[in-house]
Amino acid sequence: MTRTRARRRIAGTVALITSALVALTGCTAIAVSGPVEVGLKDLKQVDQIYQYKPPGPIPGASQEDLVRGFVLAATSSVDDYATAREFLTSDYTEQWDPYYGVLIDEGTRPYRKDGDTSGVLSLAATAKVDAEGDMLPVGPGPSIDMRFEFERIGGEWRISSAPSGIILDSNMFGTIWSSHQLYYVGAGNLLVPETRWFLTRTALVTEIVGALIEGPSDRMREVVRSGFPSGTALATNSVPVVDGKAMIDLTGNVLEAGPKAMAEIRQQLKSSLQSVSGVSGFELLVDGTPLRETSGDESNAPRVVSLTNNPAVMIGAEFGTIVAGEFTEMQGFEESLPALDPQAITLSSDEQTAAVLNAGGLTRVDGSGTLALDSRPGLLAPSIDPLGYVWTVSTRAPEVLLAYAADGSLTEVPAPWLTGRTLQALRLSPDGSRVAALVADGEESQVMVSGVIRDELDAPVRTVDEADVKLWASGTPIDLDWVGQLRFAALTRVGTAGKVTNGGIGLPAQEQTSVPGGAHLSGGGGRLYVRVLGADGDLFSPQGIGWQRVEDDISVLAKRG
């Protein structure tokens, strides 16, 4: 990533603390170059909405006091972190880069001396925010050691070397940072969100618009697109909000966008700004001149993903939905599903197609009848993406996913990041842009997420070569499902109970209490619609942080998508 891209984002959003930070023993710089583009270069001078005025160094402060005061001072970004720089030597103050990253910890920070002029601060880190505003969890393990070095200046200790970036405990982070969804365009002309974290500042709208112009994150660059033509930039230093309307003044490059791209731009802005307090709409301008909306914009606009919530189950020989305790049989599957004696069922989002896994393998069921797809051993519960592909994978060859089109034709989709992994569940996101895998991590579990790359006809080609671990969960892996476009829930075995851990893309993890004998999980379309099926056929729904039994005698709990 160039300094241009990083500075434009992290002038208002703190950037990267990579895995190198774990072993960092001094100031580590990013090898980057390039000019800062006009329009966002002054964002670092824009104050936080929540102002903190931590004190500077106290006369006679010890080395430990200096380190703790420095960490506290970095909660304020005013005047380019001027207060924090007071703790540094004059030679080092310009070398320290507060925009290098943010590390989030639990707040317990033991300190130890390491010689006469150095010391180490140990952190129980829980997450980090990377160069593009994505929150990545930090896996379980030993504390991260942060090394500081000191010099005497005029009889007072000052820091002569420190890890770049800033440190925040989870409470402070949640106070001065906020998450927002930036929307891009994925396969099937569907809107696909990315979670980005921003320092809560008066320039928030400017930062969000700037991030949309820059385009998707590196991991998603081959997966989704932005309507903004190459070279588009903000024509002014900020995006003012006037009477609730964001006035977005762009350079003339945006005029290169055709009707479809312009529709994408407007829908991206509308969806991405909807979570910003005080913004009820926007107006596009080109070098100060309003850009009129055309009738074609709406017809070409990307579509919002529709999520179905009602749990679908099989009770005896009947398949249907349960709403408010009432079972309603689903039409079209009355004869086909019971005859297949299913072990797992996945419904398409329009409820017109089912993918059924049984002892004989995988079968597609729709209005045309049944079609046998895959008879390999070790198959996991399938997925059906919004483009109509049925996805399947065998635990014996997890590095190659199979995607079947409606006519039964097969595409092999390489997923090299699953090579050598013990795979327990694999699910396509509701928009088909991501694939999540629940894998074993010793005696614990991980959820790994990668992007799905498709061709110009929206057929899957491969996954992104690498995947990020988005969740660590205690216990051995059992099941996984998406709970919306960005969130997922993992079911793991802890003792004899099933434990549900909620996570997501750029979102912190949350544990729920255990479910007796939990064996299968369905995400529905939101957290309230998550269901867990126990080994004895009891069905559980969430109640607070716990669970309540709502049905019994359930033989199969279906997934959707």
Helix (H/G/I), strand (E/B), else coil: 213? helix
Instruction: Tell me, yes or no, if the pTM score tops 0.95.
Output: no
End-of-domain residue from the set 257, 274, 299: 299
Contact (CB, 8 A) for 318 and 329: yes
- Pair 246, 393 in one domain: no
End-of-domain residue from the set 299, 324, 358: 299
Amino acid at 6: A
- Token output for 352: 């017109």
The DSSP bridge partners found for residue 426 are 437
- Pair 410, 490 in one domain: yes
The DSSP bridge partners found for residue 158 are 151
Q: Which residues contact 249 (CB under 8 A, 6 or more apart)?
A: 234, 235, 236, 239, 285, 286, 287, 288
- Pair 162, 188 in one domain: no
Tell me phi and psi for residue 71, to 5 degrees.
Answer: -60, -40
- Token output for 6: 């990083």
- Pair 257, 137 in one domain: no
- Pair 140, 198 in one domain: no
- Pair 181, 149 in one domain: no
User: Residue 407: which domain range?
Assistant: 377-551
Q: Is there a domain that residue 307 lies in?
A: no
How many whole angstroms separate alpha carbon 171 and alpha carbon 176? 9
- Pair 164, 192 in one domain: no
Report the number of distinct structural domains present in the chain.
Answer: 3
Q: Is there a domain that residue 344 lies in?
A: no
How many whole angstroms separate alpha carbon 533 and alpha carbon 552? 9
End-of-domain residue from the set 175, 209, 238: 175
Q: Which residues contact 161 (CB under 8 A, 6 or more apart)?
A: 26, 27, 92, 147, 148, 149
Q: Is there a domain that residue 361 lies in?
A: no
- Pair 503, 384 in one domain: yes
Q: What one-character DSSP code corresponds to residue 330?
A: P
Q: Is there a domain that residue 440 lies in?
A: yes
Q: What one-character DSSP code corresponds to residue 303?
A: B
The DSSP bridge partners found for residue 412 are 402
Q: Is there a domain that residue 353 lies in?
A: no
- Pair 455, 525 in one domain: yes
How many whole angstroms separate alpha carbon 480 and alpha carbon 429? 11
- Pair 169, 224 in one domain: no
DSSP string covering 463-492: E-S--EEEEEESSEEEEEEESSSSEEEEEE
- Pair 111, 192 in one domain: no
Q: Is there a domain that residue 487 lies in?
A: yes
Which value, to the nearest 10 degrees, does the dihedral of the CA atoms of residues 196, 199, 200, 201 take? -120
CATH code for the domain in which residue 480 is found: 2.130.10.10
Q: Is there a domain that residue 312 lies in?
A: no
Q: Is there a domain that residue 557 lies in?
A: no
- Pair 163, 182 in one domain: no
Amino acid at 196: R
Residue-wise pLDDT tens for the chain (561 aa)? 333 333 333 333 333 333 333 333 333 322 222 222 333 334 444 455 556 789 999 999 999 999 999 999 999 988 899 999 999 999 999 999 998 889 999 999 999 999 999 999 999 999 999 867 889 999 888 999 999 999 999 999 999 999 989 999 999 999 989 999 999 999 999 999 999 999 888 889 999 999 999 999 999 999 999 999 999 999 998 999 999 999 999 999 999 999 999 999 999 999 999 989 999 999 999 999 999 887 666 778 999 998 877 899 999 999 999 988 889 999 999 999 999 999 999 999 999 999 999 999 999 999 999 999 999 999 999 999 999 999 999 999 999 999 999 999 999 999 999 999 999 999 999 999 999 999 999 999 999 999 999 999 999 999 999 999 999 999 999 999 999 999 999 999 999 899 999 999 999 999 988 999 999 999 987 788 899 999 999 999 998 888 999 999 999 999 999
